[in-house]
Amino acid sequence: MKCLLTAPSWTYDDIRSATTKSVAGVWPMPGLMYIGAVLRRAGHEVRILESFYHTRQEMLQEIAEWKPDLFGVYSVALMWNRARDLIRMAKGVRPGVFTVAGGHGPTAFRTACFDEPALDAVVCGEGETTAVALAERVAAGANLEGLRGCIWRDGDRIVENPPQDPITNLDVLPFPAYDLVAHYPYRPSYGQVLRLPVVEMVSSRGCKNNCIYCFRMMGNATRYRSPGHVVDEMEWYVKDYGVREIKFWDEHFALDRVRTIGICEEILRRNLKIVFWCSARVDAVDEELLRMMKRAGCWCINYGMESGVDKNLKTPFPGTELYKNVHLYGHINAPLERLGMLFKGAPFVPYTMTAEQVIDLVQRAYADYYARPSFVMRRIARIREWYDVQALFFGGLSVARMRFHTLLRTAK
């Protein structure tokens, strides 16, 4: 069976403001590559269209010409309107195609997604097991009755099946189908990496913590790949694709100290010439672990911190007391879908300021920080290759634009 996987078409304008889009970049989509890998292992013919490099019209042309039997669309919440439109248009050019949506947006919206009549099913949460079983049913012309992990349309009914059991042994999964997207000229945002080429990896799924800003689509129990299996994938990227850097998408890479040390030791044992960065909590690391990670090639860790200032923690996130009483302090400036992927603009405006003043303050803070002579000199001293020059140039261009926009607003 032919399976075509993609996400809604997007551009830098959708994720960046006019002042910062010069530094924007694009990464592969690990989720789609995992789904593509398990579908291919099950015997299906799979193609992945990278949504940044294809317009919606080009996607529809591919559907009309290749005639897939299953069309899968990944979407985050803020892109669901575009995903819905793409699904409807896909059904228009290929009426017999089975349409399925997955990812963070559909997993959160669930039955609400079926306001779009062209949608046949939603895969909720971790998708590999459900996707393979769903494709098998579609190929056989069977319905999805009892298929765990999905919501589906049965005539006029919307049927919500029980959740899928999580995959306990992640080592059984094939490596992501990177070969299906390797021809795209991916380039991350300037300043996010040290070396190119770079790919993303996931070495664990789920997280036991309860950070309010995290959706935790993979559940609240952490499941791990073994250190050997993780480094096998790293070595595959290095040897087959010349990759020089890895970005780990784990919610908390260092949660299991023994496993983290095991990964580092395996990298060193194989003498892999690679650097990587990851995310962790500050209470999970110490000097010994950080030194080991640095030896293995870790150059950056993203720590989850809302703010170091108590008063700044009083932000109107949904579910907080401030959100419930936001009218006492200010107002929500725009619905989420109008703010963009990175909440461009001023989502919350206090009564003591205007939206323009909030935006101006944010841009001035960015410009003041990145225009510091000490910061610029450190970046110049770290230049090792052409990518570093590009990152410095486009970063400087972004800062200059911020300064210019601030001066224009001040002049008015």
Contact 135, 3 (CB under 8 A): yes
Q: Are 234 and 263 in contact (CB under 8 A)?
A: no
9 and 150 together in one domain: yes
The residues near 15 (Cβ < 8 Å, ≥ 6 apart) are 21, 24, 340, 341, 342
Q: Can you name the residues that pair with 24 across neighbouring β-strands?
A: none
Pairing of strands 198-201, 45-48: unpaired
Last residue of a domain, one of 137, 160, 183: 160
Helices (H), 313-385: 321-324, 355-370, 373-381
271 lies in a domain?
yes
Do 215 and 153 lie in one domain? The reply is: no
pLDDT tens-place values along the chain, 412 residues long: 999 999 999 887 777 766 677 777 888 888 999 999 999 999 999 999 999 999 999 999 999 999 999 999 999 988 999 999 999 999 999 999 999 999 999 999 999 999 999 999 999 999 999 999 999 999 999 999 999 999 999 999 999 999 999 999 999 999 999 999 998 888 887 777 888 889 999 999 988 777 666 666 677 789 999 999 999 999 999 999 999 999 999 989 999 999 999 999 999 999 999 999 999 988 899 999 999 999 999 999 998 766 555 555 555 555 556 667 777 777 776 554 444 444 456 667 888 888 778 778 877 887 888 888 888 888 888 787 777 787 778 778 887 877 777 677 666 6
Residues 297 and 332 in one domain: no
Beta-carbon contacts of residue 141 (< 8 Å; ≥ 6 apart):
none
As a residue count, the chain comes to 412
pLDDT recorded at residue 303: 86
Q: Tell whether 180 is covered by a domain.
A: no
Which residues face 6 on adjacent strands?
A: 73
Q: Which of 303, 335, 356 is the endpoint of a domain?
A: 303
The encoded tokens of residue 379 equal 């970046």
Q: Is 74 helix (H, G, I), strand (E, B) or coil?
A: strand
Based on the domain organization, do 124 and 6 belong to the same domain? yes
In a domain, 188, yes or no: no
174 occurs within a structural domain:
no
Do 17 and 120 reside in the same domain of the chain? Answer: yes
Number of domains in the chain: 3
* DSSP bridge pairs for 56: none
User: Domain range spanning residue 242?
Assistant: 193-303
Tell me: do 63 and 104 sit in the same domain.
Answer: yes
Single out the residue of 90, 8, 47 nearest to residue 179, CA to CA: 47
pTM to 2 decimals? 0.81
Order across the sheet with 121-123: list the strands: 45-48, 2-6, 70-74, 98-102, 121-123, 150-154, 157-160
Domain boundary among 160, 185, 203: 160
Residue pair 248/201 in contact (Cβ under 8 Å)? The answer is: yes
Task: Map 200-268 to HEC letters.
Answer: EECCEECCCCCCCCCCCCCCCCCEECCHHHHHHHHHHHHHHHCCCEEEECCCCCCCCHHHHHHHHHHHH
**78, 184, 69: which is closest to 120 by C-alpha?**
69
What CATH number is given to the structural domain containing 207?
3.30.750.210
The CA distance from 181 to 159, in Å, is: 34
Q: Do 202 and 334 sit in the same domain of this protein?
A: no
Same structural domain, 40 and 144: yes
